[in-house]
Amino acid sequence: MLKTAIVFPGQGSQYVGMGKDLYDNVELAPIKSGLARQLFDQADEIIGSQLSKICFEGPEDELRQTKNTQPAIFLHSVILLKLLGHNFDAVCTAGHSLGEYSALVFAESLNFEDALRLVCLRGELMQKAGDEQKGTLAAVVGLGPEVVKEICKEASSAGIVQCANFNSPGQIVISGSVPGVHKAMEIAKTKGAKMVKELVVSGAFHSPLMQSAQNGLINALENVMINDARIPVYTNVTAKPITKSEEIRSSLEKQVTSAVLWEDSIRNMINDGVNSFIEIGPGKVLQGLIKRINPDVKTIGIDRHQDISTLLNSYGK
């Protein structure tokens, strides 16, 4: 018997053209996609800018700006979710960094409008923090978490650096000041890392250099209605399931400067009985990570209009 979790991607999964097929295909079976057009138009109105145009046409440099990337991915994910409706059962949910907001909409803890405004603010604050406190990220492949933590501790003499994403076995992202991350990269190479690669990003996400963004989000979260989740949400900060509104608020407050415990989140879901995952949103990043964490579970992705038909016609058979 399938026990399914829904997961939502974060920053880095965007691509120019995302969502355009949903906007254009108004009458294709098995669903009426006029809803997608309504939601894109509603989002443009709420934000006060043409986010839909950036999603559909780019340019890529503009879509890649954190202030645009985050609401774009969130909007695409939630529109897909709403087009699917209640045509499948899920026992729990999670999202990678930004994707946690999509997961909370799915779990009915946040409503669409509030979540969109929060995500827009989050993107703006994180981009501003990156401009004010220059930092970077690097992927470290082939070393265990304890080794990478020790490397960061050793490199901290050069500047701020810490583990930012524990994505899958042997794939960890570090974050911090440019000197700190560069020093950690040098040490990782001497420790036998298979690959060490600096990432093209606009800031030191999930590190103390995002503290100003976190402060701004805390203020905004105080004025947002957060409900208890209808299903467990496995959070980035603890990798554990939560449902209570106060726990959800606390998790969102800490998330921007805390590490994303993705591998542990997936393992905990599997240990709790999940054996299939549906990734809803642009790209296939999470499906790849999940397969590296446990190749025996079932994965499927919903990114385009035709994927909705595939899911409704075949998933679970």
Any idea which residues carry the catalytic annotation?
97, 206
Helical (H) or strand (E) element with 8: strand 4-8
Residues 6 or more apart whose CB falls under 8 angstroms from that of 246 comprise none
Give the rounded distance of the alpha carbon of 125 from its chain centre.
Answer: 16
Name the phi and psi angles at 215, rounded to 5: -60, -40
Residues 6 or more apart whose CB falls under 8 angstroms from that of 236 comprise 94, 95, 96, 97, 100, 251, 255, 258, 259, 260, 261, 262, 265
Name the phi and psi angles at 173, rounded to 5: -105, 135
Question: Per the structure block, which two tokens stand in for 231?
Answer: 């299903």
75 vs 140: CA distance, rounded Å: 30
DSSP string of 127-168, one letter each residue? HHHHHHS-EEEEEEES--HHHHHHHHHHHTTTS-EEEEEEEE
97 vs 174: CA distance, rounded Å: 14
Residues 6 or more apart whose CB falls under 8 angstroms from that of 44 comprise 50, 51, 52
119 vs 112: CA distance, rounded Å: 10
